[in-house]
Each structure stands twice: as structure tokens, then as C-alpha cells.
Chains A and B, each alone.
Chain A
Amino acid sequence: DTEVTQTPKHLVMGMTNKKSLKCEQHMGHRAMYWYKQKAKKPPELMFVYSYEKLSINESVPSRFSPECPNSSLLNLHLHALQPEDSALYLCASRPSGGGNHEQYFGPGTRLTVT
């Protein structure tokens, strides 16, 4: 299995809703990432987990709450979002240690906040 999967593909939520995005990989990668991407823009780093511990939080608002329950799974919990949070949310993973250094991206979740 050489892919990163993300569910759901599309999500529409109101500003008072609570929802979660899910990311899964079974490649044994120990670094996992959440990115936010607006149209025609590069991915913006939100969070990095390394060995299931949060290692980077790019000053993301608390309405986004990441969770890494195990080495294969990464969640992003959403609460009280704003319309400007509408974007493509990308998950990525990367092997730790020497050798391979690139990230493997999932297809993304298209989020619309109404």
C-alpha cells in the first residue's frame, strides 16, 4: 500500500458544526502533515506530527485541533469555522530517518464553510 487516503472527499459545514477530517497511511511513515491550500496557491503548513507527537504548529487558530491516535492515522477536528476556512485540506506523510525524503500527499478534502 503506497498511498495516503483522506476522507471525506468533500465536506460542507455550517459555522456552528463540529466535524473531523481523516487521513490514513500504511507505509510506516512516522512524520505526518496537515496543509491548507487555497485555489492557485501553494500549500500552507498547519501541523506536523513526528512519531505521533506534535512537532510543529504554525500558529493555527484553535478552531482546528489535530490528533494523531496512532502511527497510521491523523485527524483534524473542526469546530466553529469561518467562511474563510473554506479550502482544500491536504494530508501528507514522509518516512523518517535517512533515505527517502519526499512527502506523499493524499488527494485532499474540499471543505466549504457556509
Chain B
Amino acid sequence: AQSVTQLDSQVPVFEEAPVELRCNYSSSVSVYLFWYVQYPNQGLQLLLKYLSGSTLVKSINGFEAEFNKSQTSFHLRKPSVHISDTAEYFCAVRRDTGNQFYFGTGTSLTVIP
């Protein structure tokens, strides 16, 4: 089975400051990697995904994540956060075969005005 580690359970950051949310995974096989965001009382929304190709993937709202195979990481970054980015962020992996997704424990990002 795969495991996903999000070392930071809570990350407070001031508005307009940069942020990095860390995600590491363990797998001996090829995986697909995802970042999901969950706002209070809502379901999960896909933020970014890495399937193949360029290791740097970007979202339309300024987030980016870089797949690093040697370090088995998929860290999420944003150069300047907004109040509206306050949410729970989950990293997830899925093997290239099978239906099961494995989620990290989540990082609660709080943007301080």
C-alpha cells in the first residue's frame, strides 16, 4: 500500500506571504499525485494533478506543485497567499492501476490579515 505524509498539520501565514505545504509519499510503483482543497462544510476540490510529463504543474489561481521522483515529494507552493486560500489541503496518490486513492492527513492553511 502507498502512504502519504503531510508533515505540517497547521500552517499559519500572513496575507501576501509565500507558502509551501509539504507532501511526501512512499511507493515502489508509478503513481499519480494530486492536491485537493477543502473549504469549510464543502467537499474536496481538485487543485492540481501530476500524471506525467513536466514535473511542475500549475493551477489557475496561482498554486504550483513540483513532482520530485528522487525525493518522492510533491510540495505545493504559492508565492503570495490571499485570505480566501484559508482551507484544508490534502495530498493524495493513486497507483497507475487500481481505483484506490491514498490521502495524507491534511494541512490546515490559515491566512492571517
Could you tell me which A residues sit within 8 Å of B by CB distance?
A: 4, 31, 33, 40-43, 45, 48, 50, 55-56, 90, 92, 94, 101-108, 110
The secondary structure that dominates the B interface is strand
Find the A residue at minimum CB distance from B4.
Answer: A42
| Further 16 A-B residue pairs, CB within 8 A, beyond A40-B108, A103-B101, A105-B36 | A40-B88, A41-B105, A42-B90, A42-B104, A42-B105, A42-B106, A50-B99, A90-B44, A101-B32, A101-B49, A102-B34, A102-B49, A106-B43, A107-B43, A108-B43, A110-B41
Which residues of A sit under 8 angstroms from B42, Cβ to Cβ? Answer: 107-108
Which of B45, B103, B108 counts the most A-chain CB atoms under 10 A from its CB? Answer: B103
Which positions 39-64 of chain B face chain A at CB distance < 8 Å?
41-46, 49, 51
Number of A-B contacts (CB under 8 A): 49
